[in-house]
Amino acid sequence: MAAPQPTDLLGEVYKHWIDELGKLGDTPLSTELLRLIFDDWQRVTAEPTDVTYEHTDIGGVPGIVVSPAGADMSQMLILMHGGGFALGSSASHRKLAGHIAKAMGVGCFVADFRRAPEHKFPAQIHDGVAIYEALIAQGLKPEDITPIGDSAGGNLAISMVFEMKNRGLPLPTQVITMSPWLNMENNGVTIETNNDTDFLITREGLQGNIDRYIEGATSPTDPMANPLYQDFTGFPRLYINAGDIESLFDDSVRLNEMAEKAGVDVTFSVGVGMQHVFPFLAGRHPRADEEIQAMAAWYHEGRKK
């Protein structure tokens, strides 16, 4: 039987990355070169119209402020980008943030938090909380600030809230995750069962990023590194989306189950046949555009509560 082929641009890009990296055989790539490759992530996202960008820093953390035309900039998303805690950047996620912020009619700060392996856990979480505290110091209310993250950034968006709780800070009322990567034990069932349909993720690749992030800093079962060990009682309203053919789908399934059991107001949106972080296809695939509109509707529904 022929191997499955990508059905959308995101899958094509993921497969292209892995095919090209595979040609190198056992030749190790530097983290810096991998970062340059992963900034290509933005290629799958159409440029949103009527959105401007400004490089700045908030709370000492550099990044990009995303300003859709007519947006209420007193409401801000803090976008923690994916990339295995080591890769990805505001450049790779700028356009995705533009689509999401525009749909919601709010501002967004795409954080260039400190990355592994130069900066181990929990530097990334602390950077996210520093942004949150700085926005509050600027006059924003906790309910006006929403952590959002994809893949490893989804882990960070969740862990930021637990860090806020540990510090006794007022909590945000909503959190959004896209294909969150939570399981630092690297034993999710869909890593195996979806191996042939996920064109990006492998167990070996995940382990490499786990080692970059937490090796020598903490254990894979530390709840602050692995939110699947957290108690979600009292956690803010939560949105999860993920593709059902991606290797990390099990993380989202388990997160949804845990949140429901803890009494969290949680929404789980499944992209049937979609790849890892399928909203990256914004402006190029109807399912991604539909998802972003659903996220925006969910966000504004929560604002009314």
Over pLDDT 70: what percentage of the chain? 99
pLDDT at 83 over 60: yes
The first and second tokens of residue 151, run together, are 């893949």
- Chain segment 84-106, per-residue pLDDT in tens: 999 999 999 999 999 999 999 99
**Does pLDDT of 227 surpass 90?**
yes
**What is the rounded distance in angstroms from the CA atom of residue 143 to the CA atom of residue 75?**
8
Query: Above pLDDT 90, what percent of the chain?
Result: 92
DSSP secondary structure, 68-114, as one string: ETT-EEEEEEEEE--STTTS--HHHHHHHHHHHHHHHTEEEEEE---
Average pLDDT over residues 255-260: 98
CA distance 242 to 60: 31
Is the pLDDT assigned to residue 122 strictly greater than 80? yes
Domain over 33-42+50-303 is classified CATH 3.30.420.10: no
pLDDT digits (tens, 9 = 90+) for 45-81: 999 999 999 999 999 999 999 999 999 999 999 999 9
Place of tokens 């900034």: 39
Pairing status of strand 72-80 against strand 145-150? parallel
Regarding pTM above 0.85, the answer is: yes
Least confident of 1-10, 122-131, 207-216: 1-10
What one-letter code names the amino acid at 303? R
**What is the number of H-type helices and E-type strands within the chain?**
9, 8
- H helix intervals, the chain: 9-22, 31-38, 90-104, 123-137, 152-167, 189-193, 203-214, 249-261, 286-303
Rounded to whole angstroms, the Cα distance separating 121 from 112 reads 15
Indicate the pLDDT class of residue 1, thresholds 50, 70 and 90: low
Cβ neighbours around 196 below 10 Å, total? 12
User: What does the block give as tokens for 29?
Assistant: 């790539």
Contact 97, 110 (CB under 8 A): yes
Q: What angle do helix axes 123-137 and 152-167 make, rounded to 10 degrees?
A: 60
Predicted local confidence at residue 2, as pLDDT: 60
Return phi, psi of residue 26, to 5°.
Answer: -90, 5
pLDDT, one tens digit per residue, over 153-172 is: 999 999 999 999 999 999 99
Looking at residue 23, its pLDDT comes to: 87
